[in-house]
Amino acid sequence: EPWSILVLVLVLILVLVWLVQSNATLALLWYDFLLETALDFITRTSRPQRLLQAVCINAVRGNPDSVIAAIDHFCQNQEWAMNVGDEKGAILDSVVMETSPSTVLELGTYCGYSAVRIMRLLPPATRFITLEMNPDYAAVARQVIQHAGLQDKVCLVEGKSADLIPKMADMFGIRTFDFVFFDHWKDCYLPDIRLLEDCGLLDQGSVVLADNVLCPGAPEYLDYVRSSLRFSSRFYRSHLEYTRVLDGLERSEYLGHRDAQRDQ
């Protein structure tokens, strides 16, 4: 019967939607590859460009909260994107306000969502530097940050974190960062936190917050910060942005160099 076939198709669609929303592998495969590739081909635009268009249409210029709301609405109702998102964003907000940093480093700007989210909470005198290696993402992020009215407060630098971290002191005259947000390639988390240590850019009390430590995951990074005597770490359980897939953020406070050796 036609109606029974229709019911079966609807049930299969609902099951597929549930699986995509709940399974890490399927979610990343669907949202971050299949759907994005298809929409790029159909629209002849990129996901960041479509996100920017949503911001320009729906967000009030000069209002950071409106920009955040427009991006969240786009990602929840139109197209998933790899921002920290609303749920983990609330955790990010609380850690930023708790830390009250005067110097901030973000690794992985993407479209500027987290830069806007962080900087809106901090006074204008805060030094905020965000690094993005993809020039197309950086171009969109600059426009999103400008739409939020924060272009004079956020310094976006294009390039690889491994190349730029050692140059922070010379480029910006910053000795240490009070708060560092990791949201770039997950396999860069471990080498980059070691590089921050080696370059002396972490001071006692500096806080490093790392996103997506479960999905896609950064197991070697977690092993390092959780076993190091130089860090005190805490895990914030949450979900992959705009899904029900288990994820979380790792907050690691730098305790300074210890006489004791790190556990091997």
Answer yes or no: is pLDDT of 261 > 90: no
Strand partners, 36: none
56 assigned to some structural domain: no
75 assigned to some structural domain: no
Q: Which of 86, 106, 178, 211 is catalytic?
A: 211
User: Taking residues 248-261, what's their average pLDDT?
Assistant: 80
- Over residues 61-111, the pLDDT tens digits come to 999 999 999 999 999 999 999 999 999 999 999 999 999 999 999 999 999
Q: What is the pLDDT of residue 25?
A: 83
- Alpha carbon 99 to chain centroid distance? 18
Answer yes or no: is pLDDT of 263 > 60: no
260 assigned to some structural domain: no
Domains of the chain: total: 1
Answer yes or no: is pLDDT of 242 > 90: yes
User: Taking residues 124-140, what's their average pLDDT?
Assistant: 97
Q: What is the pLDDT of residue 139?
A: 98
User: Taking residues 233-245, what's their average pLDDT?
Assistant: 96
Q: What is the pLDDT of residue 19?
A: 67
- Residue 236's domain comprises 86-254
- Is residue 153 annotated as a catalytic residue, yes or no? no
CA torsion 154→116→255→184, rounded to 10°?
A: -90
Segment among 31-45, 118-132, 188-202 with least mean pLDDT: 31-45
227 assigned to some structural domain: yes
248 assigned to some structural domain: yes
Spatial strand order of the sheet with 154-158 comes to 154-158, 127-132, 103-107, 177-182, 202-210, 246-254, 231-239
Q: Which residue has the higher pLDDT, 37 or 263?
A: 37
In what helix (H) or strand (E) does residue 247 lie, and over which residues does it extend? strand 246-254
19 assigned to some structural domain: no
Answer yes or no: is pLDDT of 226 > 70: yes
What average pLDDT does the structure give for the chain?
93
User: Taking residues 178-197, what's their average pLDDT?
Assistant: 98
Contacts of 104 (CB under 8 A, 6+ apart): 118, 119, 122, 126, 127, 128, 129, 177, 178, 179, 180, 181
- Is residue 241 annotated as a catalytic residue, yes or no? yes
Q: What is the pLDDT of residue 41?
A: 94
pLDDT over 70, % of the chain: 91
Q: Which of 36, 83, 212, 250 is catalytic?
A: 212
User: Taking residues 206-221, what's their average pLDDT?
Assistant: 97
- The sign of the dihedral angle between the CA atoms of 76, 221, 117, 168 is negative
79 assigned to some structural domain: no
Q: Which of 72, 83, 153, 186 is catalytic?
A: 186
Q: Which of 183, 192, 247, 253 is catalytic?
A: 183
In what helix (H) or strand (E) does residue 163 lie, and over which residues does it extend? helix 161-164
98 assigned to some structural domain: yes
CATH code of 109's domain: 3.40.50.150
Q: Which of 132, 241, 250, 253 is catalytic?
A: 241
DSSP state of 120: T
DSSP state of 182: E
